[in-house]
Structure 1
Amino acid sequence: MVAPIAPDLRKRDGIATTFVGGSGHHHDRTNHASIHWPSVVTRPAGSAAPSGPSPRPLTRADGALLSALHRLGVLVISWQRVTEDDFPLLRRWLEQPYVARWWNHETSPEAVARDFGPTARGEEPSEDWLALLDGRPFGLVQRSRLADYAEDFEALAAVTTVPDGAVSIDYLIGEPDLVGQGLGPRMIQAMIERTWQDYPDAPCVLIPVSAANHASWRALEKAGLARVAEGDLEPDNPIDDRAHVIYRIDRPPLPSR
């Protein structure tokens, strides 16, 4: 576990910057595609920054912040809302065998536009976020309030207690060269940290995972979530049985003054 760099939420030129440390069910509110919410994780000694283009230009303030952090030898995870311009990237990620095994998603251009388009246009209450590492997109996080999807809410409530305002996420690492580098737990942890800010009334984050997907639920444990229940839920991939494990993390208490 990497020690937190700083515990506060800082705002610079309208950009909220969360500094944090740290080592299968799919679903937008207002579109904030141009806003970056960086979360800092330390770079392992001797490792190089991953190469790859940023899908959109950073603002001058973002660039200054990234440059300063690079001089300090840190990596930056930032967030961008998915737009229709990102659909070819999502399609490529969904075609990766290790992603397809658990997401079981159609990957034709029409299917990606059908399933991600409503959220990108703000027609769905869920959110799709690109995670970027040093400006390079490497992962996807989907986030929603469980109560916004009645079927999912009822199924999960049959297995565990679902408090009012509970949020859930789903996630993937899309770039094959970055799989197995410890980014999954860090990405999850960074999104949970910003969820406490984005959803001030959310008491917890609840995440159901196929019991057979060991890598996924181990990433949740490394990110600080605890297993709170086991039960039967509909799998994303029909080759899997209905056995699921449920992980939860509660909003941290406010620091005492």
Structure 2
Amino acid sequence: MELITSKDNKTLKYAQSLQRKKYRKLHGEYLAEGLRTVSDMMATGLVTTIFVKEDSNCESIISEAEQRGIKLWSVSSDLMHTIESTVNGQGIVAIVKKQHHDINDLVITDGLYVLLDEVQDPGNLGTIIRTALAAGAKGLFLTKGSVDPYNEKTVRSTMSAITKIPFFENVTMENVVGLMKNSQLTAYATALDNAEAIQDVTFAKQTLLLLGNEANGLSEAWFNMADNRITIPMYGPIESLNLSVAAALCMYAVRESWL
């Protein structure tokens, strides 16, 4: 394992470039950090390179990375912080290949699918990705204008789930209508009013949940194309819930209705 001690090291500078969206898009790779996250991601085959802080206690990860043929670098303490996004990092950062899924190749089968319309908060998106995996969702759709799913905060919030659930970026209404025409996919738009309470809905075997962004909710166009409107009842004096909480309740309501 080679030691990086120069700020001009090409591999280190490449990793630093992945902290910016345009280079993540250009190279099709992103950064992930933390012992648990990197360890979980290695099994997916998407990790290409791992940086370990000099003298850190990561023997188990180093051993597994060597067995998998993943390139390993040791990084001096004064340089490690240049590729970590957290103040008190755990001394391990990985370069990970992005997923590549083409929505035109997607075949809808019985199960749960989730669409997020212009979600803006990285933490919300990361939590929703993690929850979608836990709820057994088969696909996650992000419309144009959504936050980059590969930014550091989102990746950290997913706890490696970003490598384990198929998701599709820049999805259009035309894409979704096409999927619905070629399947029995039923779309449920989340709304604040004039909608059926989620606990009273018997969801279709092929369900698509439509969730709007944090500030404005779903656009009228999505409501118009949806088959049904659903809502989460508020039992106290509050108008709505945080998006990631609402998404979790809706996803598990779907699962509960299938029991």
Q: What TM-score does the superposition give when structure 1 sets the normalisation length?
A: 0.26
Structure showing the higher helix proportion among its residues: 2
Higher-Rg member (1/2): 2
TM-score (norm 2): 0.26
